[in-house]
Structure 1
């Protein structure tokens, strides 16, 4: 048996700017979720296309998985691949579920936990912790994961990882192109039928999430497989602006077509630019930090969004008060994400990694 202390399990070098852009996308998601509470009409929401950050995550994930595992999956084995992904992803799935449960039970601004039986609350928590879709909360628009809504994208991330391990990792890139074309057509059908690419998070749009990750994950994988790199001097700030433009894109009659173009072409282009750009040494630390905090921020923020929703519905803050409330909310969530990263996510992953290596050592 090969020792897991070998470099086969070590992470490859990161791309600093792509790490940084992950944080920009996570921050856009948080702001979008605050703003959609205030502006139920998305045409009035300045960051109304913030939900496209999830498609960017999916595309980036395809690139990163290909870069990290294409050349070593066969040697490390599928089981070790799954262990790596679970250690990387699931601690925050669990933490987000616990946080969501406590916020649901003890929301100081509203909510009605008393209308649920203990058994149903237990089922909601178990489904959230195990990433089993359970759209059973009508007052939360039948989210697939009522206690922690963002987990819907993690469900599809796990599905994509399974397909990668058993199929995509061994698939020649010409067949991967064919799959990408099929996925693009399906995504186009979804965008046209729904009038948007916002679906995937609830029971009635469940399969939209599959279409979103089907294309984007493969597109990111193709960027890596074809070594699509565009040399440029845009750097972290330049590419952050370009990425943010997709989220700030206004709505119009054919917004679904614009969203489709962004996902099909623009996000893979951003990743190719991110691979080929230069970053100033002083910004490398910022980019790494942005990348590290992005996942904790994404997986811990939504409990506060529900609280904000109840507060906003009750007290109707407006103007300066509302602006300060949202800014303060974002800052608090950034602090929470940082504390979660430092005190929970990193220590737990290090502990699990040590246990994994120790269990493989000769007895």
Structure 2
């Protein structure tokens, strides 16, 4: 994990691939799997929660000192984050734009909101799942980035209070939604609860704030005992096993938030054996390519589903072939497009910032 001048926590990079894999598994159809396994695999969206919590932690680890110390302006920070997300977002959206134009079923508002990272603010699944559907989470990330810079100047206790108040607000809204609007569909094909509690950036900010709060605790030397590692993984699988019985408003993020935060926390100690595996060269490379893996896995599943057709063991063939395609494709995209494009854009941003601080005389 590249954290600028901060100490590297490569095990978190490896863990990113596990999170992306969970999301992948949740999107592959598994009709021949046992019911209990289908239930667990369907909860793979928990990987998105992990990404949001991790984002709050990593940005705090990488940028807090530079921002509060006056080394990083708001404009430069946002330009660097755009350099991180934009190349892959635009590259994976382009095929959908071209196909939409060819089929004449893509409207300008849908395309514009998606390409400008605003789709998650519209409570209509035809907007927030437009073009390359996983890109909805990038809309949330961009909102988190906008919030992060000012949050760096808020004292930790006040940020914890903000997190607690937002958490109570989300819980209260979830209780109300379960009682009155649990199955209501107003726009698109998804329920109101799906947008409010899974998509809406304002509520998903809670996970980002949890990551920032975790960083504050970690900086203060608060550590968990070794026994917490198997406990965290056990709780994750147990939560995935029973999640189907949890109302949607709670299941989509609130239910998994404590488990995900605990899972990240226990992996901050590099002395643990599993952290050594996760920080190995192979897992770090896979983790670095996990953004590309996440962004291309749904198109890969669709392609492989069509190619496999109705062959025996269809779900296993689709899963295996889509995984291979996503894995190879993500590595190629990362090595030969995403990383070079990001480095080039970030280099330009940093050179421009340097030139503005030290204009030629």
TM-score tier (shorter): 0.7 to 0.9
| Mapping of residues 16-35 of structure 1, within 5 Å | 16-35=10-29
Q: 1:350 to 1:123 in 2, by over 3 A?
A: same
Q: TM-score, normalised by structure 1?
A: 0.77
Q: 1:70 maps to what in 2?
A: 64
Provide the C-alpha distance between the structure 2 equivalents of 1:175 and 1:59, rounded to a whole number of angstroms. Answer: 18
Provide the C-alpha distance between the structure 2 equivalents of 1:142 and 1:354, rounded to a whole number of angstroms. Answer: 36
Q: 1:302 to 1:254 in 2, by over 3 A?
A: closer
Q: 1:322 maps to what in 2?
A: 315
Q: TM-score, normalised by structure 2?
A: 0.78
Provide the C-alpha distance between the structure 2 equivalents of 1:301 and 1:99, rounded to a whole number of angstroms. Answer: 14
Query: For the Cα contact (< 8 Å) 1:296–1:337, is it kept in 2?
Result: yes
Query: For the Cα contact (< 8 Å) 2:76–2:349, is it kept in 1?
Result: no
Q: 1:322 to 1:280 in 2, by over 3 A?
A: closer
- 1:131 lines up with 2:144 in the alignment: no
Superposed CA deviations along residues 296-353 of structure 1, whole A, max 9, x for unmatched, are 11122222344456678xx4x3652331122111110111111110111011111112
Query: For the Cα contact (< 8 Å) 2:22–2:44, is it kept in 1?
Result: yes
- 1:253 lines up with 2:245 in the alignment: yes
Unaligned runs of 5+ residues in structure 2 are 184-188
Q: Which moved more, 1:84-93 or 1:319-328?
A: 319-328
Q: 1:63 to 1:174 in 2, by over 3 A?
A: same
Query: For the Cα contact (< 8 Å) 2:88–2:292, is it kept in 1?
Result: yes
| Mapping of residues 191-230 of structure 1, within 5 Å | 191-192=174-175, 193=177, 204=192, 205-208=194-197, 209-227=200-218, 228-230=222-224
The two structures, once aligned, show a CA RMSD in angstroms of 3.7
May I ask how many residue pairs the two structures share in their alignment? 332
Superposed CA deviations along residues 236-285 of structure 1, whole A, max 9, x for unmatched, are xx699558626742444336557666533211111111112424379521
Q: 1:158 to 1:184 in 2, by over 3 A?
A: same
Unaligned runs of 5+ residues in structure 1 are 1-8, 106-112
Provide the C-alpha distance between the structure 2 equivalents of 1:73 and 1:96, rounded to a whole number of angstroms. Answer: 31
Per-residue deviation, 1:222: 0.4
Superposed CA deviations along residues 62-100 of structure 1, whole A, max 9, x for unmatched, are 111111111111321211111221111221111121143
